[in-house]
Each structure stands twice: as structure tokens, then as C-alpha cells.
């Protein structure tokens, strides 16, 4: 009997939620065939079959949270199936009988395990629209159901599973207190943020950055067919600042009493998703052009919102940026993504009257920016110097271009 366990995938993960099964008891599987889709605190991962054989038992149902190391299911291999009945233990006889009975009743018993390929967010859309996702023909790779597939299916009148009578009966039911499950990604975020706040003495420094010239340069690029997001320029400027102020691209190892100044510059992009805060990473950002940075950032954010991030997409960040401007934020006190030493946040850009050096009044595009840092590792003066250099590069884009040569 081969056990299929929920293995440790790294990054401090210790539990995962079963999203859905690709197989049921009695199904014959081959090596590396996907068996179950798991939602960890950071990613969605499929667990493949370690051996060929027949699914003998499944120990959890969809929605259950499984701890690392626990057995999810068991597979009877071909060699075991061919063994003489006299050599089987009572447990195997019972398991074999269950398998045979399951196969015989396959035509009358509904398989409780959903084999439809779909991301967790896609399934959430289907639930909200009242759509049975099993009835949808996916257009994605390997028949995967995409968000658009769900929306198109829901637009068909016959797909609405709630009749007027059912809806009326539902409305008559007493309203219960709403409960939100505290598990998976949300629970992991809570644990990590709590540890960061309890461990790191946070200090946040605020400043204003004039984006007028940068937005003008961006408009010129757009007229030339280059649509680059402002955030891509921010990230490139941040990388330059990290090289000049390496204490911000560091990790504190308290037990060893050392501060490690990192030579790798990988920028985490704090991203809001339906499942919670995700931080995909642009690796080796110092070796990337602004154009590539923009493309990579958009690709990772899209994957994060679709719930398709892999573990490799979220590992080894050395510094995190948080762009809340599109959401309308003006100021906040962000929490550092431990074990990093700082996080930089970009807020909403607004047009304000500014007095120039000639005492003239001009309307400028101004953005608030903050740097939250670990006061054990650095002081306020260093944060101010770091921010001033960032301002210089953004307010004078030609200086930013000089640093790229």
C-alpha cells in the first residue's frame, strides 16, 4: 500500500486546504497523475501519484485542512492487487472489498470528488453566480475552466440553478450570523504579520514625491508605443537606492549577531487578491530593464489574482514594495515582510498647488511615499537619505536614465 502524504513545500508552510480531488476511491491511476489540488498559505499545488495502482482509500473531504506529513489517501499497487487472498491482512481484504463494491455501484453512486480543473478564485466566482462548475466545458489548457467560461455559462438562462420558488423559500429563512473561515492564506498572513510586529520595532518615515516630470516622460513613451506603468520606474529607482544603501537590502540574524547585506536584489510586489495578500517576486531586478520589469510585474500580479502563483514565484524576496495608490490610499503604517528590513509604499497621486523656487504657484502631480524600517538595523537618518535618493531619481527622470548606463 502506497501512502500519499501532504509533503512540506517549504517557506514555513505547515498546513494546506483540500480544494478538490481529481480521483475517487476505486479509480486506477498512473505515476505522476494529479490526484488532489491543495491550497496552501501562498500557492495552489497539485499532488501527483507516487505510484501506479488503484485508489484504495481517501481520508479527507474537500475543504478539510491537512497538516504537513499526514496521509491524504492510499494507493494499492498492481503487485499488491495480484497477491494471493490468503496473504492479505484483514485490513487489505476490507479495503479490497470496499474498492470492488465502489466499482460495482459506480453507475448508481455519485462520485463526490470534483475532477474539474479550475483555480480557487474561478470556483469562487461559480459559487457566487450559483453555477455548477462541473457542467462547464473549460477552454483552458487540459480543459481547465477559466473565469470567462464561468461568466459565459452563467449568462445562459438555463444555467441558473435557483428557481423562483427556491429563492422565495430561501428568503423566508431566518438570517444567520455570517461566519468566515479563518484558515489557509488568511491564517498564514495573520501568523506572519503578528510575528513581524511582535519581533520588529517598526518605524515609518513619510515624504512627498513630485511625479510631474516622470508622468510627462511616460506620456512621451506612450506616444511612441511604449505603455510602461509608473510602478516599473519606482521599482527600478528602488533597486538603485538599495545598491547605494545596502542596509535596506539586508537580513538580521539575531542569534548569530550579524546583519547580512544581500547581493541579490529581488523585489516583492505586495498584491491584493480575493484570497488575501500575496507577494510575488521579481527576481534579480537589478539585471532587468524597466520594460521587462513592467511586463514581469503585470504577469505576476495577474497570476496572483487568478490564484495561479507557484512557490518559485514567491521565494527569496529581499525588499518589498507596496503600491496602494490605485486603491486610493493616502497614508498607512505597513508591516515589514520578515525577514526583510524595510518596506516602501507608494500612495495615491494627486494634483496640488506647489510654490516653486521663484515663488510662483504651479499645479504639480504629487505622491505620498513611506518607508517602514526595522529600527534594530537602521536609524531614521538612513531612512531619510534613502527616501531622498528615491525622490531625486523620480523627480528627475534623466538622472534615473543615467544610472541605467
The fold adopted by the segment(s) 2-104 is OB fold (Dihydrolipoamide Acetyltransferase, E2P) (2.40.50)
Q: Is the fold of 2-104 the same as that of 120-162?
A: no
Tens digit of pLDDT for each residue in 244-257? 999 999 999 999 99
Tens digit of pLDDT for each residue in 45-70? 788 888 899 999 999 988 788 888 89
Q: Which residues contact 25 (CB under 8 A, 6 or more apart)?
A: 55, 56, 57, 58, 98, 99, 102
Task: Give the pLDDT band (50/70/90) at residue 103.
Answer: very low
Burial 230-263 (b: 16+ CB within 10 A, else e): bbbbbbbbbbbbbeebebbbbbbeeeeeebeebe
Cell of 172: 423566508
Exposed/middle/buried for residue 56 (C-beta within 10 Å: 0-12, 13-18, 19+): buried
Check if the beta carbon of residue 200 is closer than 8 Å to that of residue 336: yes
Task: Give the pLDDT band (50/70/90) at residue 358.
Answer: confident
Spans of all domains in the chain: 2-104, 120-162, 201-403
- Give the least confident one: 163-177, 195-209, 377-391: 163-177
C-alpha–C-alpha distance, residues 291 and 281, integer Å: 16
Phi, then psi, of 119 in degrees rounded to 5: -70, 155
Tens digit of pLDDT for each residue in 124-175? 788 778 888 888 888 877 677 888 888 888 877 654 444 454 555 555 556 6
Measured CA distances, 108 to 104, 111, 133, 178 (Å): 9, 9, 21, 36
- In the block, residue with C-alpha cell 527569496: 316
Mean predicted confidence (pLDDT) in 254-283: 93
Higher pLDDT, residue 293 or 141: 293
- In the block, residue with C-alpha cell 518607508: 371
Q: Is the pLDDT of residue 11 over 60?
A: no
C-alpha–C-alpha distance, residues 358 and 49, integer Å: 72
**Strand, helix or coil for residue 263:** coil
Q: How much is the pLDDT for 357?
A: 84
Domain 120-162, CATH among 1.10.10.60, 3.40.50.720, 4.10.320.10, 1.10.3720.10: 4.10.320.10
* 375 part of the active site: yes
Catalytic residue among 202, 338, 375, 396: 375
Enter the pTM of the model: 0.64
CATH number given to 201-403: 3.30.559.10
Amino acid at each position: 500500500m502506497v501512502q500519499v502524504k501532504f509533503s512540506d513545500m517549504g517557506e514555513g508552510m505547515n498546513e494546506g486546504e483540500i480544494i478538490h480531488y481529481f480521483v475517487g476511491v476505486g479509480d486506477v491511476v498512473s505515476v505522476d497523475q494529479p490526484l488532489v489540488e491543495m491550497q496552501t498559505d501562498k500557492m495552489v499545488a497539485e499532488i501527483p501519484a507516487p505510484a501506479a495502482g488503484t485508489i484504495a482509500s481517501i481520508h479527507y473531504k474537500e475543504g478539510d485542512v491537512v497538516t504537513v506529513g499526514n496521509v491524504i489517501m492510499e494507493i494499492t499497487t498492481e503487485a499488491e492487487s495480484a497477491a494471493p487472498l490468503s496473504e492479505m491482512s484483514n485490513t487489505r481484504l476490507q479495503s479490497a472489498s470496499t474498492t470492488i463494491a465502489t466499482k460495482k455501484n459506480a453507475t448508481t453512486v455519485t462520485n463526490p470528488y470534483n475532477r474539474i480543473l479550475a483555480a480557487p478564485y474561478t470556483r469562487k466566482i461559480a459559487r457566487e453566480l450559483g453555477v455548477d462548475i462541473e457542467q462547464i466545458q473549460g477552454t483552458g489548457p487540459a480543459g481547465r475552466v477559466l473565469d470567462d467560461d464561468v461568466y459565459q455559462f452563467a449568462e445562459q438562462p438555463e444555467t441558473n440553478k435557483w428557481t423562483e420558488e427556491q429563492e422565495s423559500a430561501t428568503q423566508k429563512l431566518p438570517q444567520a450570523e455570517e461566519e468566515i473561515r479563518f484558515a489557509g492564506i488568511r491564517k498564514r498572513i495573520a501568523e506572519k504579520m503578528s510575528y513581524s510586529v511582535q519581533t520588529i520595532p517598526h518605524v515609518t518615515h513619510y515624504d512627498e514625491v513630485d511625479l510631474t516630470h516622470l508622468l510627462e516622460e511616460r506620456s512621451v513613451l506612450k506616444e511612441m508605443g511604449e505603455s510602461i506603468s509608473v510602478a516599473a520606474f519606482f521599482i527600478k529607482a528602488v533597486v538603485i537606492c538599495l545598491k547605494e544603501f545596502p542596509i535596506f537590502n539586508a537580513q538580521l540574524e539575531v542569534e548569530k549577531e550579524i546583519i547580512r547585506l544581500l547581493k541579490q536584489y529581488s523585489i516583492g510586489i505586495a498584491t491584493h487578491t480575493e484570497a488575501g495578500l500575496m507577494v510575488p517576486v521579481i527576481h534579480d531586478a537589478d539585471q532587468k530593464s524597466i520594460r521587462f520589469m513592467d511586463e514581469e510585474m503585470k504577469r505576476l500580479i495577474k497570476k496572483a489574482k487568478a490564484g495561479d502563483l507557484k512557490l518559485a514565484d514567491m521565494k527569496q524576496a529581499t525588499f518589498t514594495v507596496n503600491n496602494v495608490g490605485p486603491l486610493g490610499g493616502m497614508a498607512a503604517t505597513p508591516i515589514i515582510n520578515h525577514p526583510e528590513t524595510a518596506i516602501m509604499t507608494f500612495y495615491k497621486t494627486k494634483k496640488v498647488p506647489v510654490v516653486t523656487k521663484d515663488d510662483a504657484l504651479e499645479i504639480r502631480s504629487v505622491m505620498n511615499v513611506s518607508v517602514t524600517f526595522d529600527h534594530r538595523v537602521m536609524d531614521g537618518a538612513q531612512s531619510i537619505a534613502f527616501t531622498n535618493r528615491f525622490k531625486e531619481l523620480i523627480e528627475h527622470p534623466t538622472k534615473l536614465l543615467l544610472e541605467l548606463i
